[in-house]
Amino acid sequence: MIPEAGLAALCLALALTLLQGTAGLLGAARHSAAWFAVAQRSAWLQTGLAMAAMAALALSFAQQDYSVRYVAAHASSALPLLYRLGAVWGGHEGSMLLWLTLLGCWSSVFALTMPRGPLSSAALGVLAVLSLGFLSYIIGVSNPFARLFPAPPDGSDLNPLLQDPGLIFHPPVLYMGYVGLAVPFALALAALLTSSRHGQPDISWAHLARPWNLMAWLWLGAGIAAGSYWAYYELGWGGWWFWDPVENASLMPWLIATALLHSLAVTQQRHMFGDWSVLLAIAGLALSLLGTFLVRSGVLTSVHAFAADPSRGIFILGLIAVMVGGALTIYAWRAHTLPRGRPLELLSRETLLLVNNVLLLAACAAVFLGTLYPLLMDVLHWGKISVGRPYFNAVFVPLLLPALILSGMASWTPWRGIPVRTWLRRARLPAAAALATGALVMLCGMPAVPFAAGLAAAIFTLILSGWSLLRHARQRLRPGLSYYGMQFAHMGLACFALGASVSGSFEVSEDVMLRPGGTMTLAGYTVRLQQVSQHTEKNHQALRAQVVFERHGHDVILVTEKRRYASGMVTTEAAIGWGLFRDLFVALGDDLGENGYSLHVAYKPLIRFIWGGAGLMIAGGALGFLGQRRARVRLAHEAPAKVAA
Amino acid sequence: MNRTHRRRLLGIALITGGLGIAALLSGLAFRKNLLFFFTPSQVAAGMAPPHSVFRMGGFVVPGTLRRQGLEATFNVAEGGHALPVSYHGLLPDLFKEGQGVVVKGRLDGSGGFTAEEVLAKHDENYQPPEVRHLRPDAGPVVSASKP
């Protein structure tokens, strides 16, 4: 009965979503607080019902109810409870339910914290339309509670690659980011719907949307960084980004959210880029829906299998078309009510942010092309192609290096502009230091130009940001948390660039065959295969190799495994000896006979800076979020005083 | 033309210039780095480029895998044609005779294929996308890919 209760909860949620949408839009049209309250409460109830449905699914997994098709397909009696619960979102139907529940959570917090008024009311209406789309999708074509007759005695287990603690928490984090972009989207549309043609152009939506977008950006970034780390330690061969369509699907909304983060700052501070921010908010949600479509419709696994049974994919595509088409129509109809642009000063923070937006958008377009063009070719039977790392690197590096340099310049460039000469005087030393480093690297005969450029840009930004922080500390300025957040995030980007360019250029890796006791040298280390042994574990056979990296009398002992599961699945457990400045990496290949084993060994300098930089960016974003909240609270306190005066 | 117009023109020029350069870069990089996919029978029909890198997919012919240290040779077949492939390095976890494989590399000029990369199945139920449709009786697609 539990699965049926779950489905009933979803049907009830559908009715409440309709109520939330109607009440929200009515509340906005009539400036009615009563309707707003109705929308607010139905959002809370609807979220509670979605959570109840999640709980029903989790309970079905916990009780191993294999008469539920979804449970039978994603669990087995041998699967530990933790992974059985993780399997709730391990497959298609469950992950869509997770989407819906998280959307409900965002809507509920939104309903709880936003000041009541037409803008919030309309935004709740827009969020309800989104929920409605996902609910009808789940109930219509992707029901996780569908029964299976006759019920199989046991399930067919969760994909072993997904049986990893990191992977249980990865999808919810990433989805929080995807779904969070719905809030700026809803606010942008609400601003279009409620702004009056004759009244004063209103930018309060930008005030409200900033912290929401920042929060979504944080989750999305954390999800991407965690996914990349998972690929690094779990997938085996030590890469950290594969330009895989699944990865690109999460990178595109992140790039747009980053652009929106910066353009909203301009909209809020200078009442400019209003149209632009609205369009970015629409694009952000469009790309996160597109990402869901790419990952969840099966179109990536096989275009043709997808074409044979496209009902789900068509539904998501239809949802994208309705949401984005509708949003753009509203934009075309109402855009003239938005604040108009003002002239830009040549060298001002506004201009830098404009260029930053152009670069991010171009980068996103390049990823879009590289991800979707091969699919399109395949669908139209024009041939099968793929674009790999070389394409993305060739496009991405020249677009993002200028963005990195700009991020360093931004902290020295005030709003409204600054004379070019003054600016040059300030940037003289860091620029010289950066150029000198770049030139030195080139002179030392180090490899590629992109590497030298990346290093120089990273140093330029680190110096400028660090210097700016120091100056503020020395002059006892109290710039607020948002300022520190910005500097940390920019320094994080620089650290990331440093890690990516150094590890990309100086990584040494080799495939070798060694016998136990045999040695090789790699990047100054003596690598010795100490011993190889066979082990029998509960559900797999393991071939275990002990490898010693030795340099200057220091030993690093790593143990790598090749596992053969009862199901026939084979996985490699790579071993990583990690350090702040370098990682040592070894993965066991095969038994090649005659007591020889193949090994993949690698030395990866500064690779930790990649995730360290990502962590710094996330910390910076969190500081910025706190700063924005504090500013809003202060604003709320000051507002009544102003009225009194 | 006053100051405001000049500034606005400058902004437009910046955007279009930036986007133009980006489009040019992407276009060039795209054309240079496109990798085409062929099957052994298409290669036999002379459709594959003789000197540049491409991807080829098919099934590893049982009984043809030979290994000598890190050197591996095996035949990849599809549609009645087979091509000998040679590779130096570690083979992926789920590389098996009789199963789907995608190799990236170039023709060696003497009827064989030199691979620089070998991709096999990610897990028991998953086939490389290009190979999946070659054999309609392949297992069900696993619905839980990396999200």
Give A300's contacts in chain B (Cβ within 8 Å). Answer: 129, 145
| Cα gap A259→A263, rounded to integer Å | 6
Averaged pLDDT, A134-145: 92
Asked, for residue B100, whether it belongs to a domain, the answer is: yes
| Cα gap A66→A154, rounded to integer Å | 6
Q: Give the residue among A517, A536, A538 at the shortest CA–CA distance from A528.
A: A517
pLDDT of A645 reads 35
Q: Tell me the β-bridge partners of B36.
A: A385
Residue A248's Cβ-side half-sphere holds a number of Cα atoms within 13 Å equal to 24
Q: Is the dihedral of CA A513, A519, A523, A525 positive or negative?
A: positive
Whether residues B51 and B123 share a domain: the answer is yes
Kindly report which listed range (A160-174, A284-298, A301-315) carries the lowest average pLDDT score.
Answer: A301-315
Instruction: Kindly tell me if the per-residue pLDDT of A201 is higher than 90.
Output: no
Instruction: Kindly tell me if the per-residue pLDDT of A239 is higher than 60.
Output: yes
| Cα gap A62→A530, rounded to integer Å | 43
Kindly report which listed range (A234-248, A434-448, B101-115, B124-138) carries the lowest average pLDDT score.
Answer: B124-138
CB pairs under 8 A between A and B: 167
| Cα gap B78→B134, rounded to integer Å | 8
Token pair belonging to B9: 């023109």
Q: Tell me the β-bridge partners of A541.
A: A536, A564
- Chain A: nearest CA to B109, how far in angstroms? 22
Instruction: Kindly tell me if the per-residue pLDDT of A631 is higher than 80.
Output: no
Whether residues B41 and B30 share a domain: the answer is no
pLDDT of B137 reads 32
Q: Does the CB of A481 have a partner CB in chain B at under 8 Å?
A: no
The average confidence (pLDDT) of chain A is 86
Partner-chain contact A358 B69, CB within 8 Å: no
Give the helix ranges, DSSP H, for A274-388.
Answer: 274-296, 303-308, 311-334, 349-379
pLDDT of A643 reads 38
Partner-chain contact B93 A562, CB within 8 Å: yes
Give me the amino acid identity at A207.
H
Contact yes or no for A111/A16 (Cβ under 8 A): no
pLDDT of A305 reads 56
Give B98's contacts in chain A (Cβ within 8 Å). Answer: none
pLDDT of A6 reads 95
Cβ within 8 Å of residue A511, ≥6 positions away? A589, A598, A599, A600, B70, B88, B89, B90
Q: Tell me the β-bridge partners of B104.
A: B55, B117
Between these two residues, A105 and A553, which has the higher pLDDT value? A105
Q: Does the CB of B14 have a partner CB in chain A at under 8 Å?
A: yes
Whether residues B3 and B57 share a domain: the answer is no
Asked, for residue B47, whether it belongs to a domain, the answer is: yes
Between these two residues, A449 and A368, which has the higher pLDDT value? A368
Whether residues B78 and B13 share a domain: the answer is no
Whether residues B9 and B48 share a domain: the answer is no
Partner-chain contact B123 A159, CB within 8 Å: yes
Token pair belonging to B110: 């003497």
Contact yes or no for B57/B36 (Cβ under 8 A): no
Partner-chain contact B33 A569, CB within 8 Å: no
Q: Does the CB of B61 have a partner CB in chain A at under 8 Å?
A: no
Asked, for residue B139, whether it belongs to a domain, the answer is: no
Size (chain B), residues: 147
Whether residues B53 and B106 share a domain: the answer is yes
Instruction: Kindly tell me if the per-residue pLDDT of A85 is higher than 50.
Output: yes
Contact yes or no for A260/A281 (Cβ under 8 A): yes
User: Which of B22, B23, B37 is opposite residue A384, by nearest beta carbon?
Assistant: B37
Give B35's contacts in chain A (Cβ within 8 Å). Answer: 385-388
| Cα gap A375→A371, rounded to integer Å | 7
Whether residues B62 and B105 share a domain: the answer is yes
Q: Which residue has the tokens 């199901």?
A: A567
Q: Which residue has the tokens 């098709």?
A: A69
Whether residues B25 and B54 share a domain: the answer is no
Nearest CA in chain B to A510: B89
Other CB atoms within 10 A of residue A633 CB: 10
Instruction: Kindly tell me if the per-residue pLDDT of B3 is higher than 70.
Output: no
Averaged pLDDT, A142-158: 85
Nearest CA in chain B to A573: B93
Burial state string for A185-205 with b = 16 or more CB within 10 A and e = fewer than 16:
bbbbbbbbbbbeeeeeebbeb
pLDDT of A530 reads 92
Angle between the A245-270 and A349-379 helix axes, to the nearest 10 degrees?
A: 150
Q: Which of residues 78-117 of A touch B (CB under 8 A)?
A: 89-92, 95
The CA distances from residue B54 to A178, A561, A567, B26, B50, in Å, are: 35, 32, 33, 20, 10
Beta strands B71-78; A582-593: pairing state? unpaired
* Total count of domains within chain B: 2
Asked, for residue B143, whether it belongs to a domain, the answer is: no
Give the domain range for residue B22: 1-34
Averaged pLDDT, A418-428: 81
Partner-chain contact B7 A593, CB within 8 Å: no
- Chain A: nearest CA to B19, how far in angstroms? 6
Instruction: Kindly tell me if the per-residue pLDDT of A199 is higher than 60.
Output: no
Cβ within 8 Å of residue A519, ≥6 positions away? A526, A527, A528, A529
Residue A29 CB-density burial (10 A; 0-12 exposed, 13-18 middle, 19+ buried): middle
Token pair belonging to A301: 């696994």
Q: What one-character-per-residue DSSP string does B86-136 give?
A: EEESPPPTT--TTSEEEEEEEE-SSS-EEEEEEE--SSTT---HHHHTTST
pLDDT of B47 reads 87
Most B CBs within 10 Å, among A167, A229, A301, to test the B interface? A301
Q: Give the residue among B52, B103, B105 at the shortest CA–CA distance from B78.
A: B103
Can you tell me whether residue A453 is helix, strand or coil?
helix
Q: Which of residues 80-119 of B touch A (CB under 8 A)?
A: 88-91, 93-94
| Cα gap A545→A534, rounded to integer Å | 9
Partner-chain contact B37 A343, CB within 8 Å: no
**Sequence ranges of the domains in chain A:** 1-163, 389-506+608-618, 508-605
Q: Give the residue among B115, B43, B44 at the shortest CA–CA distance from B74.
A: B115
Per-residue pLDDT reduced to its tens digit, A244-285: 888 899 999 999 999 999 999 888 888 888 888 999 999 999
Most A CBs within 10 Å, among B28, B73, B123, to test the A interface? B123
User: Which of B10, B15, B142 is opposite residue A159, by nearest beta carbon?
Assistant: B142
Per-residue pLDDT reduced to its tens digit, A40-67: 999 999 999 999 999 999 999 999 999 9
pLDDT of B129 reads 52
Per-residue pLDDT reduced to its tens digit, A524-535: 999 999 999 999
Asked, for residue B137, whether it belongs to a domain, the answer is: no
Give me the amino acid identity at A219.
W
Token pair belonging to A159: 């994909």
Per-residue pLDDT reduced to its tens digit, A447-500: 677 777 888 888 888 888 888 888 887 887 777 888 889 999 999 999 999 999
Q: Give the residue among A165, A15, A148, A145 at the shortest CA–CA distance from A82.
A: A165
At residue A180 the predicted structure's pLDDT band, cuts being 50, 70 and 90, is very high
Per-residue pLDDT reduced to its tens digit, A567-618: 777 888 889 998 899 999 999 988 888 889 999 999 999 999 999 999 999 9
User: Which of B10, B15, B55 is opposite residue A386, by nearest beta carbon?
Assistant: B55
| Cα gap A437→A443, rounded to integer Å | 10
Using alpha carbons only, give the angle A624, A628, A632 rounded to the nearest 5 degrees.
170
Averaged pLDDT, B96-119: 88
Cβ within 8 Å of residue A425, ≥6 positions away? none
User: Which of B32, B35, B70 is opposite residue A385, by nearest beta carbon?
Assistant: B35
pLDDT of B131 reads 54
Instruction: Kindly tell me if the per-residue pLDDT of A354 is higher than 80.
Output: yes
Q: Does the CB of B12 have a partner CB in chain A at under 8 Å?
A: no
Q: pTM score, two decimals? A: 0.89
At residue B123 the predicted structure's pLDDT band, cuts being 50, 70 and 90, is very low
Q: Which residue has the tokens 């054309």?
A: B31
Give A384's contacts in chain B (Cβ within 8 Å). Answer: 36-38, 55, 130
Partner-chain contact A399 B132, CB within 8 Å: no
Kindly report which listed range (A32-36, A159-163, A315-319, B14-18) carries the lowest average pLDDT score.
Answer: A159-163
pLDDT of A47 reads 96
Instruction: Kindly tell me if the per-residue pLDDT of A509 is higher than 50.
Output: yes
Nearest CA in chain A to B94: A570
Asked, for residue B30, whether it belongs to a domain, the answer is: yes
Whether residues B30 and B18 share a domain: the answer is yes
Between these two residues, A404 and B8, which has the higher pLDDT value? A404
| Cα gap A121→A187, rounded to integer Å | 10
Torsion angle defined by CA atoms of residues A55, A56, A57 and A62, in that order, rounded to the nearest 10 degrees: 80
**B62 cis-preceded (ω within 30 degrees of 0):** no
Q: What one-character-per-residue DSSP string does A335-359 give?
A: GGGSPPP-PPPSSSHHHHHHHHHHH
Whether residues B43 and B19 share a domain: the answer is no
pLDDT of B124 reads 43
At residue A2 the predicted structure's pLDDT band, cuts being 50, 70 and 90, is very high
Instruction: Kindly tell me if the per-residue pLDDT of B125 is higher than 50.
Output: no
Whether residues B61 and B29 share a domain: the answer is no
User: Which of B37, B91, B147 is opposite residue A174, by nearest beta carbon?
Assistant: B147
The enclosing domain of B61 has a CATH number of 2.40.50.140
| Cα gap B101→B94, rounded to integer Å | 10
| Cα gap A444→B33, rounded to integer Å | 30
Phi/psi at A36 (nearest 5 deg)? Answer: -60, -45
The CA distances from residue A8 to A14, A184, A283, A305, B93, in Å, are: 10, 31, 34, 32, 44
Question: What proportion of chain A, given as a percentage, has pLDDT over 90?
Answer: 43
pLDDT of A554 reads 87
Per-residue pLDDT reduced to its tens digit, B27-86: 888 888 888 888 898 898 888 888 888 989 888 999 999 988 889 999 998 888 899 999
| Cα gap A296→B143, rounded to integer Å | 8
User: Which of B30, B89, B143 is opposite residue A91, by nearest beta carbon?
Assistant: B143
Partner-chain contact B29 A391, CB within 8 Å: yes
Q: Which of residues 21-40 of B touch A (CB under 8 A)?
A: 22-23, 25-26, 28-30, 32-38
Most B CBs within 10 Å, among A97, A141, A159, A219, to test the B interface? A159
Whether residues B85 and B102 share a domain: the answer is yes
Per residue, the 3-state secondary structure of A485-514, as one string, reads HHHHHHHHHHHHHHHHHHHHHHCEEEEEEE
pLDDT of A250 reads 93
Q: Which residue has the tokens 């000998």?
A: B84
pLDDT of A225 reads 94
Q: Give the residue among A491, A484, A487 at the shortest CA–CA distance from A460.
A: A491
Q: What one-character-per-residue DSSP string does A211-255 give?
A: HHHHHHHHHHHHHHHHHHHHHHHHSSS--S----HHHHHHHHHHH
pLDDT of A640 reads 46
Phi/psi at A406 (nearest 5 deg)? Answer: -60, -40
Q: What one-character-per-residue DSSP string does A184-216 give?
A: HHHHHHHHHHH--SSS----HHHHHHHHHHHHH
Q: Which residue has the tokens 């710094």?
A: A616
At residue A143 the predicted structure's pLDDT band, cuts being 50, 70 and 90, is very high
Question: What proportion of chain B, given as a percentage, has pLDDT over 90?
Answer: 16
| Cα gap A53→A39, rounded to integer Å | 21
Q: Which residue has the tokens 């997904």?
A: A162
Cβ within 8 Å of residue A607, ≥6 positions away? A232, A240, A499, A503, A507, A582, A583
Q: Does the CB of A369 have a partner CB in chain B at under 8 Å?
A: yes
